[in-house]
Amino acid sequence: MTPIGIATPAEPEGPDLVKLEQRTVKWWEPLALLSVLGLLFLIGDRLGLRGELKALRAWIESLGVLGPLLFLASYLLLTMLGFPSSPLTAAAGVLFGAVVGLATAMVAATTAMLGSFLIARHLTPERWRRRLLATGGFRRIDRLVLRRPALVVAMVRLANILPFAVVNYGFGLTRVRFGTYALWSVLGKVPGTVGVVVGVDVIVKALYRGHVSWKSAVVVLLIVALLAVAIRKMNRRLGELAAEVPS
């Protein structure tokens, strides 16, 4: 489809990666999430969290394969309706632990990313697509995706400058190939998911034992620090790439 290059004055501007990069820096989110969990560890005994978490995991384990399936269904429903993915990813670590939680979260995220993309691509009315392509911001993103599809998809996914659902549906309205989107979306989602799920599992196990495994804590902090640095650099690089593309 050829993008429409003329926008009427009344048309609202679409998302612009340059502006988003300047005002939306979410590199701190994984660290903030783990900080909250660390605080819960410190006050966990007073809140009775140890017993509650043990009971919750015991109940989830009693469900067998139905537990991950229920989580998958809930994740799909909530994220496709616009609910943030980070709390749900953290929930996977709480409910299933590091290994099963990571696998479950990645399957759920992948299904949501691909499903939302296909819905946007095949079910969006043509008049809506034309209106989006008539906005300067969205037109710039579409051209940027055409120039550097794999890099842009991976960077947008990792940099986390837009809500999960917006990215999923938004890419479906661009001209990126499905295979490119699928591969690089999954690869871009892995680092953040690993950091959150493993970090949450370390905190939960610490609550169980009443003390922190410092080796595990150091590993998690290193993962989060590297992720924060990478996300910040991705934000800047996205802004540079977007500035090179004409409106």
pLDDT tens column, 24-45: 445 555 566 666 666 666 665 5
Q: Cα(117)–Cα(174) distance, rounded to whole angstroms? A: 10
What mean pLDDT do residues 63-74 have?
A: 93
Q: What does the pLDDT read at residue 36? A: 67
Contact (CB, 8 A) for 94 and 56: yes
As a whole number, mean pLDDT of residues 150-168 equals 85
Query: How do the domains of the chain map onto residue ranges?
Result: 17-243
Average pLDDT over every residue of 8-31: 47
Report yes or no: 225 and 199 within 8 Å, Cβ to Cβ.
no
The pLDDT of residue 24? 43
> Which of 8-22, 28-42, 87-101 is least confident?
8-22
Q: Helix 149-159 to helix 136-147 angle, to the nearest 10 degrees?
A: 120
**Does residue 96 surpass a pLDDT of 90?**
yes
**Count of H-run helices and E-run strands, the chain:** 13, 0
Residues, the chain: 247
> pLDDT digits over 179-188, tens only?
999 999 999 9
Rg of the chain's alpha carbons, rounded to an integer?
Answer: 20
Model's pTM, two decimal places? 0.76
Stretch among 55-64, 118-127, 154-163 having the lowest mean pLDDT: 154-163
Write down the pLDDT at residue 12.
41
Tens of pLDDT, residues 70-91: 999 999 999 999 999 988 998 9
Find how far residue 153's CA is from the centre of its chain. 12
Distance (Å, whole) CA 12 – CA 174? 18
**Cα 176 to Cα 146: distance, rounded to the nearest angstrom:** 6
